[in-house]
Chain A
Amino acid sequence: METPYSIRVVDAAKRFGDVAAVDHVSLDIRRGEFFSLLGPSGCGKTTLLRMIAGLEQGDGGNIVIDGADVTELPAHRRPVNLVFQHYALFPHLTVEKNVAFGLRYRNGVEKGQWRDKVAAALDLVRLSGLGHRRPDELSGGQKQRVALARALVLDPRVLLLDEPLGALDQKLRKEMQVELKQLQRRLGITFVFVTHDQEEALTMSDRLAVMNGGKVEQMDAASTVFEQPATAFVAEFMGAGNFFTANVQSVDGAIVTVASAAGFETALLAPGATYRAGDAVRFVVRPEKLEMWPTLPGPAEARACMEVTVEERIYQGVATVWNVRNRAGERMNVYQQNVVRTAGEEFVVMGKAWVCWDPRHAVLMRG
């Protein structure tokens, strides 16, 4: 039975003492996709990954890989492989022997084929010729590639990666992100990637799950999580922490009209949600979707607007971030790309300005 799902996690749970590291999590990972588990440290993403790998025994729930329930299977019998955060290369073995380590457990691969398979794997990660070196003679980036090769040489159905780029410097990290993405596309196997860096997750993933306190807050395509955060936590984590409070005035199908605490009225799109007049709601608008205006623009612009006091100007080179505060005391960040050289000079700290946005960019929060 060919399922479209590479991995199904069904109601997985794991406790350490009285802390629920993984709290009844269910998710599906599709075949051939690059899936990321994203969240702050302690959210349970690494624990969940290790449960899929078989290195942690869950306290409940099932792990199904390619249609087969592997929950009771020990780590060494699962058809998945893990790239460890600190590489876990065997210090007493050469690169070649490291990569070849798991081959003897694969039925159907004879000893004579090992050399070629190892060479092919090293080639794949662009480390040919370094087979005789030992781990302590390699740089961080090289060690990481060896760890990759060691896992890939076993032709796993799924590759699990536990924050593999964490120890690399900025530049190398960005290069590796691209390389990993290209590798995944070329091999066509499922990648499950754990990271706390939202930018990294967005760069590489097809879909991602944001985790917090052992639960999944949102699981969607990367762009959806970015543009339409579902909960306050996800909004904050993805850098969309511009929260507006408002009261529902009227509901017309999917269009909800609200009156914000800052004194303006705006209409929001909320398909499928059920709101009634009088409900208290929150919505966010991403910083880069907000615009700074010196004066209130005319109605032709079709913008929602509010008056603000400018509190701080943070110059970041590529952009300027404005910290502003509206009449309801709500603080917002406005991200203004430095497209025009003189842009931003018209706004003064402690002065007044108008912040406007296309109403379609406002996202209603659940909970």
Chain B
Amino acid sequence: MTRRPGNHVLRGFSWLVYAFLYAPILVLIVYSFNTSVQTARWLGFTPRWYAQVMRDHELIESAWNSLLIALVTTVVASVVGTLAALALARLTTRVAGATRGLLFLPIVIPEIVVGAALFTFFVSVKWDLGFWSIVVAHVSFSVSYVAIVVRARLAGFDRTLEEAARDLGAGPMGVFWRVKFPLILPGIVAGALLVFTLSIDDYVITSFVAGIKTLPLHIYAKLKINATPETNAISTLLLAVTIALIAIAQWLLREPRRRK
């Protein structure tokens, strides 16, 4: 059903929206090379903000913290979330229903509420805010995302494949590791990537429970005063790293070449 003029309008509008989505990012990249500090007038190309970033010890420390936190969070949340997804795919008892509801909560309750609650929790149990308070907070909201992504992957899973594996002689471990796991792995990786990104980027909840500086906290502080071009440089670097990660993930998860 191709009615030409309407389609052109749609296409044009869509590309406008895409431009809207990417323009700020482009602006960021461009201006990270701008010599000007105060105004947005283009005063010349300079890479010196990047050099400044590299020398900023506080920044590097924050980035390192964020990375560590994100890694630990990803590993823990992926395991817990995948286990939950696997169990929920099979169970229909009330426990399953309650678990689904429980997993739903961290996603829908506003971050501000979650962050505040975690803060009151740590204060109440006299837990000093530091590295682990952040990790724990991040894990608590990440598990749900992994569970959802893996669950979606499991939904399309062909049960007869498991039966075939059993019929051919595989015990429960064999069935899981040789058939189920390879097929849900893309889902687990997708969930892990999602969680990693959410953790590295988290500001609101982290701001309540942090005892050490993370990258978002560092950036936020700088943003509130006034965006120096240094923040643009940081942003562009982060962008490059993120895109590189996505590209690597896509490459790892690529479908093998098919012949039609």
Contact = CB atoms under 8 A, between A and B. Distances in A.
CB–CB under 8 A between A and B in the complex?
yes
Interface stretch (A28-36, A101-109, A285-293): A101-109
Interface in B64-105: none
A55 B161 CA distance: 12
Report which residue of B158, B164, B182 has the largest number of chain A beta carbons within 10 angstroms of its beta carbon: B164
Given A84-B163, A137-B259, A76 B183 contact: no
A145 to B, nearest CB: 15
B256 interface: yes
Interface string B226-260: 00000000000000000000000000000010110
A76 B167 contact: yes
Nearest to A162: B160
A294 B178 CA distance: 70
B198 interface: no
B160 A86 contact: yes
Contacts of A91: 161, 183
A84 B160 contact: yes
Contacts of B183: 91-92
Interface string A150-192: 1100100000000000000000000000000000000000000
Contact of A102 (B158, B170, B182, B258): B170
A: contact size bracket: 20 to 34
Given A134-B256, A136-B258, A88 B164 contact: yes
Given A102-B169, A137-B258, A75 B163 contact: yes
Interface string A90-134: 111000000001101110000000000000000000000000011
A74 interface: yes
A53 B163 CA distance: 10
Report which residue of B163, B171, B182 has the largest number of chain A beta carbons within 10 angstroms of its beta carbon: B163
Contact of A84 (B164, B169, B258): B164
Interface string B150-168: 0000000010110111111
Interface in B166-222: 166-171, 174, 178-179, 182-183
Interface of A: 53-55, 74-77, 81-82, 84, 86, 88-92, 101-102, 104-106, 133-134, 136-137, 150-151, 154
List the 9 shortest-distance A-B pairs measured between CB atoms, nearest first: A105-B169, A102-B168, A88-B164, A88-B160, A75-B166, A102-B169, A82-B167, A76-B166, A92-B182
18 contacts: A55-B167, A76-B170, A77-B169, A82-B167, A88-B160, A89-B164, A90-B161, A90-B179, A91-B161, A92-B183, A102-B168, A105-B168, A133-B259, A134-B258, A137-B258, A137-B259, A150-B168, A151-B168
